Chains A and B, each alone.
Chain A
Amino acid sequence: MSRRAIAWLGRRLPSGRTLVIAAPFLFLLLFFMVPFVAVLKISFADPQMSVPPYTPIAELKDGYLRITLSFEHYRAVLSDPVYVGSYLYSLQVAALTTLICLLVGYPASYLIARADPARRNLLMMAVMLPFWTSYLIRVYAWIGLLKNQGLINRFLMWLNLIDDPLKLYHNNWGLLIGMVYNYLPYLMIPLYAHFVKLDNALLEAACNLGARPWQAFLTITVPMSRRAVIAASLLVFIPAVGEYVIPEILGGSNSLMIGRVMWDDFFVNTDWPSAAAATGAMVILLLLPMAWFQRLQKREMVQP
C-alpha cells in the first residue's frame, strides 16, 4: 500500500479518541433512543385488542402508504384531571424532595468537605454505603421502620413520647421519607465534589477583609456554589418526577404519581398509547429545566 493510501485511510478511519467518545453515545442510541422512538410511535396509535395491543400507524394498503397519527392521547393526557393531577402531584413531590434534600444535604456536604481529610473520606463512604445494597431491598426495609409496629413507632412508644403509633407508612410521610432518603446521596455527592475544591484562601481573604464566618459563607460560599446546587438539584428532581417504586411501596393509595399512572395504563388497562403519550409529555416536561441548565452552563462556560 502506498504511503498516500495509508494517509488517506488514516484520515478516513475514526481515531481512538472518537471511538472512545462514540461508545457511550452508541450505547445510548441503541438502548435509549431507539426504544424511546418506539414508545413515541405507540403514543400516536390507538389501543385495540390484539398483540401488540395498538393500531399500526403506518400501513401499506393497495400500493398506498397510509399513516394514521392519533393525537387523541396527548389531548387526553393534557386535559384529563387524572393525568394533569398526577403530573402536578409528581412535580410537587419532586420539588419538595429536592428542597428537603437541599436543606439537609447542602450543610452536610459543606461540613463534610471542611472536615479533616481522614474523617472526610469516612463520612463520604457512609453517604455512599446504601448503594452497596439493592435499591428495592432498601425501600422495602423502610416498611419495617415506618409501619405501625415498626422500629420507629415502637421506640417512640417505649420512650412514652407517643401513645398511638404515628402514621408514617402508606401515606405522604412515608413517600417523602423514602424519596429524600433515596435521593439524598445524588445531591450530596456533586455538592461535596464542589465544596472540596473550594479554595480555602477565598474564605480566609473574606475573613481578612472583615467578614465574620457566617458573612463569608453567605457572600462567598453560597454564591459560588450556585451552579453546583442547580446541577445537583436537577440530578434529584428529574428522576424524582418519574419515580415509581417509592410511591408504590411507601406511598398511600392517594399518592398518584405519574409513574404509577403509566404503570397502570400499561399493565392494568393495557392502554399502551395513553401510557406512551404520558411518557412523551413527561420527557418534554423534563427537557425544559435541562435546556435551561444547558443554557446557563454555556453562558458561564468561560468562568471557573
Chain B
Amino acid sequence: MTYEATRPQKPPGQEAKADFVQIIDVVKKFGQATAVDHVSLSIRKNEFFALLGSSGCGKSTLLRVMAGLETPDSGRVIVDGQDITQLPPYRRPVNMMFQSYALFPHMNVEDNAAYGLRREGVGSSEIRDRVAAALDLVQMGKFAKRKPHQLSGGQQQRVALARSLVKRPKLLLLDEPMSALDKKIRQQTQFELGNILYSVGVTCVMVTHDQEEAMTMADRLAVMNEGRIMQVGTPGEVYESPSCSFCAEFIGSTNLFTGVCASEQAGQFACEDLAAPLQVRGPITVRMNRPARLSLRPERISMSFEPVGREYNWAMGTVEQYAYMGSYTLYYIRLPSGRLMAVDLSRLAVTSMHREPDYGDTVYLSWGPEHLVVLEQ
C-alpha cells in the first residue's frame, strides 16, 4: 500500500469540518434506469475524495450532478453552506476536468486557461497574471502559445488542470483523469497531479474505475455499485475492513468464504470448503448458527510444506497454478473440497521455504485470526 507515501502529511488544523461538500439523498433516473440511487456523502474541505466503481455504477452521473450538467430528480448538493442544486453550471463555484480534457481546439494554451476568467469579466492584467501562475504551476508556461493538438496527452491534461484551477473553484471535479494517458506515464502522473492539488489546497472529487488510482491519490474513497454507495473510508479502511463482499472483491482480490457461526464467544465459523474452522478476532455480531461471509486477503496467508500445529485457520491443498509476478508469486491451491484458494507469497516468503512450491505439491496454508474480516452483507 503506497498511498501514505504519495504526499506529505496534512498539517494539523487542515482537518476542517466534514461537511464542506454535502450530497443529500440525490436520485437521478434516466428513463427506467436509476443511475444514482439515494446517495448521501459528506466531503471535508481540502480533501481529495474518490468515487470508485465499475462503468455504469453511477459515479460519473453523480459527478455531473455536482457540476450541474445533470439535474437530479431529488436531493440536494451543498458546497460551503450554499445550496447549489438549482444553480446552472455556469454559476457554480465548481470546475471540472473532463475525461477527454475538452480543450478548445481553436484556442492556444493561454486562451484555453484564460477562458473561465474572461467569462467572469476579470481585468486583463489580472487574467494575464493568474493564467501565467496557473500554467507555471503545471509547468506548461513555455507552451502558452501552442495549440492543444501540438501537445502530448500528459501536457493536455496539465493544461486542462490549469484551466479548471485558475478560477479557484471551491470544488474541483476530476472525471477519469488518467484514462486518456498511456499506462506507462499514468503512475508518475498520479503522483504529480496529487502533489499539485495538495499544494494548491482544493477540495477535490475524482471519479475512477481504477482502484490503484483511487488508492494512490485519494484521502478517502467511496465504493459505488448500481447507483448506491457501498462503503466510504480511507483506502486503508476499505482495504483492511471491507463492509461487503462487493467492496472486498472490487478493492484488491480476496478469498470469500461462507460460514456458519459455530461459537459466538470464541468467534468461530464452520465452513463447508474448509476442514478446520475459521477463527476471527474480537467480538462478533453474528448469532449462533447464523451464516456470514468472510474475507481473507491472498497476501495474508502463509504457506509451508509441513502441517500447521493448530485446530483452526488452516487448510491443506495442492498447487494447481502459479504465476510469477515479480515482487510476489500468485499460487492457486486446490483444497480437497474442490475449493480454489488464491495465495500471494512475497519473494521473501518463497525463498524462506526450503524449495519453491511446484505444480502438484501438497502444501499447508495458515492465517491469523486478525486477517479474517466478517462482512456485513
Taking beta carbons and an 8 Å cutoff, which residues of A are in contact with B?
199, 201-202, 204-212, 215, 219-220, 223-224, 226, 302-304
Contact = CB atoms under 8 A, between A and B. Distances in A.
B120 A210 contact: yes
Contacts of A208: 67-69, 89-90, 94-96, 164
Interface of B: 67-69, 88-91, 94-96, 98-100, 102, 104-106, 115-116, 119-120, 147, 149, 163-164, 167
A186 to B, nearest CB: 25
9 contacts: A202-B104, A202-B105, A207-B69, A207-B89, A207-B90, A210-B116, A211-B90, A302-B149, A304-B105
A205 B119 contact: no
Contacts of B68: 208
A209 B100 contact: no
Contacts of A201: 98-100, 102
Contacts of B90: 207-212
Nearest to B64: A204
A41 to B, nearest CB: 46
Contacts of A204: 69, 89, 98, 102
A148 B98 CA distance: 59
A89 to B, nearest CB: 36
Contact of A219 (B89, B115, B120): B115
Contact of A303 (B91, B102, B105, B167): B105
Nearest to A227: B106
- Of B69, B106, B149, most buried by chain A (CB within 10 Å of CB) is B106
A103 B173 CA distance: 38
Given A219-B115, A303-B106, 4 more contacts: A199-B100, A208-B89, A210-B120, A304-B149
Given A215-B119, A303-B105, A210 B98 contact: no
A219 B107 CA distance: 10
Contacts of B163: 209
B105 A206 contact: no
A204 B173 CA distance: 13
Contact of B104 (A207, A210, A220, A302): A220
Nearest to A216: B90
A81 B313 CA distance: 106
A211 B90 CA distance: 6
B242 to A, nearest CB: 34
Given A202-B104, A303-B149, A210 B119 contact: yes
A303 B146 CA distance: 12
Contacts of B67: 208
A210 B149 CA distance: 24
Given A204-B102, A223-B106, A211 B119 contact: yes
Contacts of A206: 104, 115
A204 B102 CA distance: 9
Contacts of A223: 106
B68 to A, nearest CB: 8
Contacts of A205: 96, 98, 102, 104
- Of A209, A220, A303, most buried by chain B (CB within 10 Å of CB) is A209
Contacts of A224: 104-106
Nearest 7 interchain pairs by C-beta: A209-B116, A210-B119, A205-B102, A201-B102, A207-B89, A210-B90, A208-B96
Contacts of A210: 90-91, 116, 119-120, 167
A201 B102 CA distance: 6
Nearest to B95: A208
Nearest to B166: A209
A303 B147 contact: yes
Contacts of A207: 69, 88-90
Given A208-B89, A210-B119, A212-B90, A202 B167 contact: no
Contacts of A199: 100, 102
A210 B167 CA distance: 9
Given A215-B119, A304-B149, A209 B105 contact: no
Contacts of A202: 102, 104-105
B95 A209 contact: yes
Contacts of B116: 209-210
